[in-house]
Structure 1
């Protein structure tokens, strides 16, 4: 299975000529969707796919602009049943620009020649093309676009047209299109796709366009575009013609063009919504901002400066040939969630703001994303955790609906924190809609609690812990204490009716209903969260501890019960390894050789089996890492301590045995699987770890999941790949008393260095090679840093640099 997946990806040739440039030549339809997702530009407030400005959604191209947190709810009928779903809205398309020689047809593509170039360092997408019309007239086209990181409500598109073999009247049309729908995922065809309703539009005599729409939920979205047209010698005299219809507005500019002389249209578009902070009327705000916008080069200067500052925070110096994919992954992470996201009350969508897969929902992927942000831009981590805390009451309501106490977070979250997971999903192989039980992945709440504590470890932010973090963690702990059932025959507590991260198994083949008992990952992590509850309370100032326990009606008896229960949760074993869940050993082994011969790609083995009238529930197969997640979250020694706390003997070979057992049965149907396996294999097979790291690093660049990247990037895998360099290969471990180091560099990675933010302060540089690890503190850091290496504690003071021998 491993070699099969690697060989299929090896044929992909990453289009990166240097570490800061993504480049595509040509316009093959099979690559268009992938190219549009990877060439998206954004700033945390909005992201626009890299579709051509003249393109429309036609099954090949898919223009899309997505605003952080802009969801809408709609009803759809499937099989005679009505289902309500919430979508990240495809917002009005601000890009449309096309042209024609007078009397010709509007250019709609494809061009005769084309090259796309994404400048990752500055966040600029450049398109160079040759357009030839039916009369043989050749026009060179160069377009640059950006979504301003300095002015997040502004996006800009510069179009330069140069006639090659003709002169005459040239017409250029620019539009704003609010008639777009959500049709970017073929599996959702037949479901309600229209979310925008026209409110008004206009084309002014000065060349300004404006458009206002609203979602079904009443959110107003307003766009305004200002235009500047110039010829080779400066501003050009032009004729203007406006045109409007419901949800669409355009301005056509006409001027005389000459062969060899460029004509430039500079289009700046402002976007505001009625949900934006400090915004009254969104249309008025958009029109004022557009009118004041500088020209493209002026906008680019401020935008590039902000990117340069971001790269200073997130830069990683490493000597290996994967720096380009590393920069690409970080680029898309920072476009999805930036400082401009922090005040918007939004989460981190699993597929970025790059497409409509998973309807733009928030899953547990922040578990992977926040580990990068904690140590580089912790303010962003805090914003994500506040998104969860603001939805704590919704999680409490969900727990009460289950008949339990505390807080139960949804597997899929959107605008208000209710469960957004679908009740059915389409299997494209069989054409059948099948029941979807993914909402039983209650471990998402455990991930939220884990994120709270890891953020506190990295930052020492007691204010956040006191205001929001401890309350969130305590209510999650209360839920798991309420969910556990005592089994007298075993003398243990069990957690029943849940799903683990694997996702292939959602029921026992011998049972009538969904859910599994005693998923090992869930139970061990629940035990850990119950233990952290006491630590979180102890870390609070006495007055806040008293306020919180009083408000939650949390007394010493309940806390003692949590600690007792947390030491007696059942963890199943079989054949000397941890069982994925209770009863796992009763499942059959799959005929792996037979299925490999029949199917070249087994990553969606669940769909293959369902199409055959079978089910993955019958077999020892895994979509992605499940039990092995324990060694992703915790160092091997801490996993042994957790298991011993639960009454199990855990020898030093348990991780190796368990890893080997599940690796043979895992098809890596999720990009996250490569991240986890790379992490776990670091301590026992560095060569295999590096292979999985490379798979994770290039998962979207090479479209490893066979066409899914076009529907949105895999943000968790992108961040997870970065974190493999940041924490895994350096052995960076954040404890309350010290920063731990235990480097294990693969042979392909001779060294790396990075600047980190630790315990609320920047100015810490970590450098690691095969023989040494060096910690350097900037002189202006206020506090020293304690470092633990091989069990020995050392202190590095501000302005010092200390090198440790490995």
Structure 2
């Protein structure tokens, strides 16, 4: 990838079929309401999108995905389907970007046709994807230069705009084109549509479908060109504009396509057909006007979220790449959804929400868009009943948030070791609530929503702990963030987060009592809180251990970690281009001192001030050599902690690795979607690592304690919002300057 325009544009200079799927994910576009993978409008020969096959639930880290060269993706996060093996999954919706040219019997194809001067560019600043090339048909009748421009409107959230420009450079030919909506798509090899109908309304084509859980989706398209008249061809699953034009050298043609997507789960009321027609008619203004209103919305978002890096252009572009995906995947207006683990750029994680939301994504939104941060937490409040049902299924009271959550808030994960044991997510949500409150002082949220979650989750922990013979409490059979240690005793990360959850439940009640006595009484009665219950919360919080190796002064990942077997990681790991998990069985991983990610370091990242610099350094030095970094969350976590302990070699190494994860085409990291948690944590690296600014969880005021620039970086500049005020941050070689603006 190359860059220009002051490091805002990512370029694909040559088409390589083996890298196509990576670019489909990396160049994904969206506006929060919907996202689309960057598949070619005309598709690719041999890359069928309606294949039926069986996908079972397994570890995505080591799973080999289908669709090796191309996978279309059109996703509305609130539209899910029911899969017989995978439970509730996001649905790949009909493909409205369809647009293809043909000459004689040759359909334009990037892999099969003769293509010269190919380039494709994603403009991060303006959210546009531009593709240009010259097509020489096999009959050598002509040369046609084609330019495709498209964007998902940030202003009109249901609208996708395409513009295709054709210039005939040489010769003449009969140019045929087809453009429409293709409903021949499956999701993870499964057909989620029970009904599909196509229709024509004046010059607008429509496709209406019903999903297997009863939701309706409607797509409408309008294709315009002053030079060609179109016929409309339709069948049950596909509807097309079709036209022909005799073209000659020196002629230019422009085609503009507006597409609208809407569903019966939208927040707006009204009949789908009526709403759809109103939406597409509202888009009947000039392309320039549509583009400008879209650009202005993005300009405002970039105004608060941009990070400027001087000294390393590659890192600058990669950082903006990460922020771009954080911006386009978030819907700040719909509290029924969060941001899925692949940033709605692929199906690998089924469109589900993990602990990533509160720990890795939420801080970016807290400090750049508090409204969006609140909305993410409102999703957790709106799925609280599902979390209560989940707790009851484990014979517990309160709320137990699922490891993999979807629309309802009940457990979607089919693998028992994660669903049963990776319970830290429940306390992670409590941490996210308190982080948001600490940074915003949003008392309305705490009083009306946050405190209730804190109490109900604490009730779950009250039942989940076991009382031991000494009168203390243990958490047994626990998987922490390190998923290669599945059944541990007193995992340090989980235990500390549970203690935090319990303490903040009690503190929230005291804050509400001091702020609004009536609200306090109302909450007390609504939840039937008792003093005895709160005393038990306090007792558990005090007696639940966070294990330490006192002799060597570092955090024990779990109380029983030293009982695990040593393992020859380097001897087993034959090919470093693949995760370590490919070479060691799951059973072997579960009994060995081998980490997918170091959750003891994740603990220090969240509770930095609770540990001495020596303890953090010793913890880092002990676990890093036995960490495989098979988790995409691991490298950037290590970069943050490395900046604190003055390990400049690792700061540089892990920063580069994290920035390259989805950005570097050679790694192919974006094939199945964006590692969106890595994007969010990269922003945290800028704040807490590079600029040395502790979060509102650790500091009551905005201060920098240490500046750590990676090698070659001369200056970093960004903005953040802290308790309602906006600040400009400038991190330089030896200090960080903070100014209110």
Q: Is the TM-score greater than 0.5? A: yes
Answer yes or no: is 1:660 the counterpart of 2:621: yes
Distance 1:283 1:70 in 2: 18
Structure 1 range deviating more: 378-387 or 682-691: 682-691
Name the counterpart of 2:562. Answer: 585
The structure 1 residue matched to 2:482, chosen from 496, 502, 508, is 502
Distance 1:657 1:221 in 2: 55
The structure 1 residue matched to 2:718, chosen from 754, 776, 779, is 754
Distance 1:750 1:476 in 2: 45
The structure 2 residue matched to 1:239, chosen from 229, 234, 241, is 229
Matches within 5 A, 1:630-649: 630-635=603-608, 637-638=609-610, 640=611
Deviation at 1:764, TM superposition (A): 2.4
Aligned residues of 1:683 and 1:744 also touching (Cα < 8 A)? no
Deviation at 1:203, TM superposition (A): 3.9
Name the counterpart of 2:155. Answer: 150
Name the counterpart of 1:355. Answer: 346
Name the counterpart of 1:414. Answer: 406
The 1:205/1:168 distance shift into structure 2, 3 A limit, reads farther
The 1:703/1:610 distance shift into structure 2, 3 A limit, reads farther
SS at match of 1:165: strand
Distance 2:15 2:196 in 1: 36
CA deviations 1:356-410 (Å, max 9, x no partner) are: 0111111111121110110110000000000001111111121122122221000
SS at match of 1:142: strand
CA deviations 1:22-50 (Å, max 9, x no partner) are: 11022211110111111111100111111
The 1:655/1:165 distance shift into structure 2, 3 A limit, reads same
Answer yes or no: is 1:174 the counterpart of 2:179: yes
Distance 1:115 1:286 in 2: 34
Answer yes or no: is 1:729 the counterpart of 2:690: yes
Distance 1:750 1:159 in 2: 41
Distance 1:486 1:327 in 2: 49
Name the counterpart of 2:361. Answer: 369
Deviation at 1:449, TM superposition (A): 0.4
Distance 2:165 2:194 in 1: 33
Name the counterpart of 1:393. Answer: 385
The structure 2 residue matched to 1:523, chosen from 471, 492, 495, is 495
Answer yes or no: is 1:27 the counterpart of 2:29: no
Aligned residues of 2:15 and 2:110 also touching (Cα < 8 A)? no
CA deviations 1:73-129 (Å, max 9, x no partner) are: 121xxxxxxx3522111011111111123x433323335132110111111000002
Distance 1:125 1:439 in 2: 42
Deviation at 1:68, TM superposition (A): 2.1
Name the counterpart of 2:543. Answer: 568
The structure 1 residue matched to 2:649, chosen from 683, 687, 704, is 687
Deviation at 1:708, TM superposition (A): 4.5
The 1:652/1:156 distance shift into structure 2, 3 A limit, reads closer
Distance 1:602 1:722 in 2: 26
Distance 1:586 1:344 in 2: 44
Deviation at 1:630, TM superposition (A): 0.9
Distance 1:526 1:445 in 2: 8
Answer yes or no: is 1:299 the counterpart of 2:263: no
Q: What is the TM-score of this pair, normalised by structure 1?
A: 0.84
Flag structure 2 segments of 5+ consecutive residues without an equivalent.
49-66
Deviation at 1:544, TM superposition (A): 1.5
The 1:591/1:178 distance shift into structure 2, 3 A limit, reads same
Flag structure 1 segments of 5+ consecutive residues without an equivalent.
1-13, 76-82, 184-191, 230-234, 424-434, 507-514, 641-650, 779-806
Distance 2:555 2:75 in 1: 42
CA deviations 1:704-747 (Å, max 9, x no partner) are: 8x545211100000111112112332222315742332132225
The structure 2 residue matched to 1:769, chosen from 723, 726, 732, is 732
Deviation at 1:141, TM superposition (A): 1.1
Answer yes or no: is 1:211 the counterpart of 2:207: yes
Aligned residues of 1:674 and 1:695 also touching (Cα < 8 A)? yes
Name the counterpart of 1:647. Answer: none
Answer yes or no: is 1:43 the counterpart of 2:31: yes
Distance 1:121 1:571 in 2: 45
Aligned residues of 2:19 and 2:665 also touching (Cα < 8 A)? no
The structure 2 residue matched to 1:600, chosen from 540, 557, 576, is 576
Q: Could you list the structure 1 runs, at least 4 aligned residues long, displaced by more than 4 angstroms after superposition.
A: none
The 1:602/1:98 distance shift into structure 2, 3 A limit, reads closer
Distance 1:475 1:176 in 2: 46
SS at match of 2:108: coil
Name the counterpart of 2:56. Answer: none
The structure 2 residue matched to 1:223, chosen from 216, 219, 232, is 219
Name the counterpart of 2:192. Answer: 195
CA deviations 1:736-761 (Å, max 9, x no partner) are: 74233213222533332322222134
Name the counterpart of 2:63. Answer: none
Aligned residues of 1:128 and 1:140 also touching (Cα < 8 A)? yes
CA deviations 1:303-325 (Å, max 9, x no partner) are: 11111111111122332311101
Distance 2:624 2:651 in 1: 12
Name the counterpart of 2:119. Answer: 115
Answer yes or no: is 1:330 the counterpart of 2:318: no
SS at match of 1:664: helix
Deviation at 1:524, TM superposition (A): 1.3
Answer yes or no: is 1:141 the counterpart of 2:146: yes
Aligned residues of 2:642 and 2:648 also touching (Cα < 8 A)? yes
Deviation at 1:260, TM superposition (A): 2.4
Deviation at 1:150, TM superposition (A): 0.7
Aligned residues of 1:372 and 1:726 also touching (Cα < 8 A)? no
The 1:168/1:709 distance shift into structure 2, 3 A limit, reads closer
Name the counterpart of 1:16. Answer: 3
Name the counterpart of 1:269. Answer: 259
Distance 2:631 2:282 in 1: 45
Distance 1:447 1:416 in 2: 19
Name the counterpart of 1:534. Answer: 506
The structure 2 residue matched to 1:450, chosen from 431, 439, 464, is 431
Distance 1:415 1:389 in 2: 12
The 1:50/1:264 distance shift into structure 2, 3 A limit, reads same
CA deviations 1:573-624 (Å, max 9, x no partner) are: 456333222322111111234224x333462x3332228xx52112100011
Distance 2:521 2:379 in 1: 25
Q: How many residue pairs end up in the alignment?
A: 702
The structure 1 residue matched to 2:523, chosen from 548, 554, 561, is 548
Distance 1:719 1:372 in 2: 6
Distance 2:279 2:715 in 1: 46
Distance 2:723 2:130 in 1: 40
Distance 2:155 2:464 in 1: 47
Aligned residues of 2:467 and 2:474 also touching (Cα < 8 A)? yes
Distance 2:700 2:205 in 1: 58
Distance 2:499 2:635 in 1: 26
Distance 2:729 2:723 in 1: 15
Distance 1:669 1:164 in 2: 50
Answer yes or no: is 1:319 the counterpart of 2:310: yes
Distance 1:439 1:335 in 2: 33
Name the counterpart of 2:250. Answer: 260
SS at match of 2:89: strand
SS at match of 1:404: coil
The 1:241/1:314 distance shift into structure 2, 3 A limit, reads same
Name the counterpart of 2:100. Answer: 98
The 1:241/1:652 distance shift into structure 2, 3 A limit, reads closer
CA RMSD of aligned residues (A): 2.0
The 1:652/1:721 distance shift into structure 2, 3 A limit, reads closer
